[in-house]
Amino acid sequence: MRRSVLRVAVAAACGGSASCGGSGSDEATADTGTDSSTSAASVDDNGITDATTPADSSTGIGTSADATSSTDGSETTTGGPVGTEGCGLAAGDPSMQWTAHAIDVDGMPRDYWVWLPAPYDPERAYPVVYQFHGCSDSEDRQNNNPPVQDVSGADAIHIRGKAVQSCWDSGAPESPDIAFFDALVADVEATWCADPDRRFATGYSSGAFMTHRLACDRGDRLRGIATIAGGQAGPECAGPVAALLIHDLDDQTVNISASVSARDDHLARNGCDAAAATTPVEPVPCAAYAGCTDGLPVVWCQTTGQDHSRQDGLAAAAFWGFLAALPTL
């Protein structure tokens, strides 16, 4: 069968849940993400270096509205995304490196890191990818994420939050980390030029559980998600989101059934035909389900022999390829 391609080239952890086997120990070698290197190579948890190709910035994803001149000489805008209040403000942070920020959430200081594309254009409404890390006792646990920023090139802003403890609190619909996400969105969109119709979330392990929780409780605020090695989505959700899920059949930390359950919830919410044959899509071994509501695809990527690793070489490219290809609804 000829493989079709998504339109652009294309955590243990359930927030401390005992069923995930997470104990707060480091799950994987963290993506350091602390310098301004723009290398396209990433190293997975088995020490294997995988080369990834930066996204093609010529696609126009996330570009600002086209300006046209009216008869009186003033400029109007037609088409393209509507930006947030941060549009037009000069960036105080360097591009292509993680820069620390802090916000107050209900009286508790919380840390997050921003990665701006180069060049950063304050007049361009960018997609924003919120990354949620896997469990780790490391002080820099926010870096325990697939390096999606290495693949998105000049086409996205990336945000990494940091859990208060080793893992995210994703067990309750209104956990403190849900409030943290809300505060993140508000602060990010007031500071940088973002496209509110293209908010994305990605997660590994505990971060995957957190991402699925957000996909349910904040489904009306997210356009799409992508996760690896974690599931759990609620039965009553704010709205459907496009979803890509990666899980290894041999995962000894979080059983693949967690992602299977989350996948099936997304299939039901997105109107997909779970019984129909799937269509292979890039990258291997991903497959898209049939019959999904337009603009709300569900893609399943089942691997073998990778255990609970982040699979950076697969996950980073698959995440961005899927999210970048989503049309604006």
**CATH number for position 172:** 3.40.50.1820
Which of 107-116, 164-173, 242-251 has the lowest average pLDDT? 164-173
Report the Cα 57 to chain-centroid distance in Å: 19
Q: Residue 1 falls within a domain, yes or no?
A: no
Q: Residue 221 falls within a domain, yes or no?
A: yes
Using the structure block, give the residue that is written with the tokens 């030029």.
Answer: 193
Largest CA distance in the chain: 66
Indicate the number of domains in the chain: 1
| 74 has pLDDT over 60 | no
Higher pLDDT residue, 82 or 37? 82
Q: Which domain holds residue 234?
A: 84-241+314-324
The residue-averaged pLDDT of 241-259 equals: 98
Q: Provide the pLDDT for residue 106.
A: 94
Q: Residue 56 falls within a domain, yes or no?
A: no
Please state the pTM of the whole predicted model: 0.80
- Cβ–Cβ < 8 Å for 240, 258: no
Q: Provide the pLDDT for residue 242.
A: 98
Q: Residue 77 falls within a domain, yes or no?
A: no
174 CB neighbour count, 10 Å cutoff? 8
Q: Provide the pLDDT for residue 156.
A: 98
Residue 237: name the closest of 261, 262, 220 by CA.
Answer: 220
Higher pLDDT residue, 172 or 264? 264
Q: Residue 171 falls within a domain, yes or no?
A: yes
With cut-offs at 50, 70 and 90, classify the pLDDT of residue 235: confident
- Cβ–Cβ < 8 Å for 101, 187: yes
Q: Provide the pLDDT for residue 140.
A: 97
- The 8-class DSSP code of residue 72 comes to T
pLDDT tens digits, 160-203 = 999 999 999 998 777 899 999 999 999 999 999 999 999 999 99
Question: What is the Cα–Cα distance from 32 to 233, expressed in whole angstroms?
Answer: 29
The residue-averaged pLDDT of 45-51 equals: 31
Q: Residue 235 falls within a domain, yes or no?
A: yes
The residue-averaged pLDDT of 92-104 equals: 97
Residue 135: name the closest of 169, 97, 107 by CA.
Answer: 169
Q: Residue 45 falls within a domain, yes or no?
A: no
With cut-offs at 50, 70 and 90, classify the pLDDT of residue 233: confident
- Give kind and range of the element (H or E) at residue 82: none
Q: Residue 98 falls within a domain, yes or no?
A: yes
> Mean pLDDT of all residues in the chain?
82
Q: Provide the pLDDT for residue 31.
A: 55
Range among 58-62, 63-67, 219-223 rated most confident: 219-223
Q: Provide the pLDDT for residue 192.
A: 98
The residue-averaged pLDDT of 118-129 equals: 98
With cut-offs at 50, 70 and 90, classify the pLDDT of residue 82: confident
Q: Provide the pLDDT for residue 43.
A: 33
Question: What is the Cα–Cα distance from 43 to 62, expressed in whole angstroms?
Answer: 28
| 312 has pLDDT over 70 | yes
Exposure of 223 in the CB half-sphere (CA atoms within 13 A)? 20
Residue 230: name the closest of 165, 129, 134, 319 by CA.
Answer: 134
